[in-house]
Copies of this chain bind each other. A is one copy, B any other.
């Protein structure tokens, strides 16, 4: 069957966690992803589950575990708070159902490693991780440009991830495990070499980010020597702004600004920023979900850059090194210490 063939049958998806992220997944699954429909939703807040269920024409499950066990659910999307991921993924694998778990797989390297060990090889194969930037046409274009061989070897990467404001209860560690984690995954994916050491630095802090070290500047070094700067600024106020530039020996490639319209008014020429990731990465989420659904429908369907538990462990290793660097006040920390845990 070729890439153009239709999915055989419709995958009935259960979505656990229907906050902003999960509700967006549910809507995309029902309106933009071929071969899927949302069959059930669950949420810690029953009224939210009811509302989203009504909106997408699905059932509201009493609780996540009954959703996972339900005969009307073929596959599960997990978009709950980070600490609950491990238990839900275990349950999905226990029920033999494919699961797409939002990043991070778990909030810590130890827990991620333990989970992956417990899942075993066949269990781990059921799990995909929501590193959706790999599906963004911009990042894909960067990778193609680097891999073309016409630009020389990659030497330096500059990443910026800025948002309007951090959510309630965000911590300095969350900034790494919940936000920067995308860059920790994308840098080695782009340059084709794993991160071998990482360092954390604190710039002058914004006065509007109480209780949180924000912005943060991370440095990553890959095994083949590429150095990446990763600026994460959750309370940048001005907009949701994701940038990436890869400097190669004879060229530099970067993400273009993803604007649709320019407005000349009030003595400026201006393009809008999206307020959050939904607009910026709508295409990436759609393509990720489409690839995941197709991969479930057919063993022979290409999985493309869909992230695996091995990718989750790799990113968790870097996050762990960064948190150690943060706690010791900076300096490079190697990531290799934990390599033995890989499945």
Contact = CB atoms under 8 A, between A and B. Distances in A.
A97 interface: no
Nearest to A224: B204
Contacts of A241: 252, 264
Contact of A233 (B33, B153, B247): B247
Contacts of A3: 27, 31
Nearest to A201: B227
A224 to B, nearest CB: 6
A207 interface: yes
A21 interface: no
Given A225-B203, A239-B267, A261 B138 contact: yes
Interface stretch (A268-276, A309-317, A318-326): A268-276
Interface in A296-343: 330-332
Interface string A165-197: 000000000000000000000000000000000
Interface stretch (A53-61, A64-72, A117-125): A53-61
A138 to B, nearest CB: 4
B205 A137 contact: no
Interface in A191-238: 201-208, 215, 217, 219, 224-227, 229, 231, 233, 236-238
The 5 A-B residue pairs whose C-beta atoms are closest, nearest first, are A204-B225, A203-B227, A6-B37, A5-B57, A141-B261
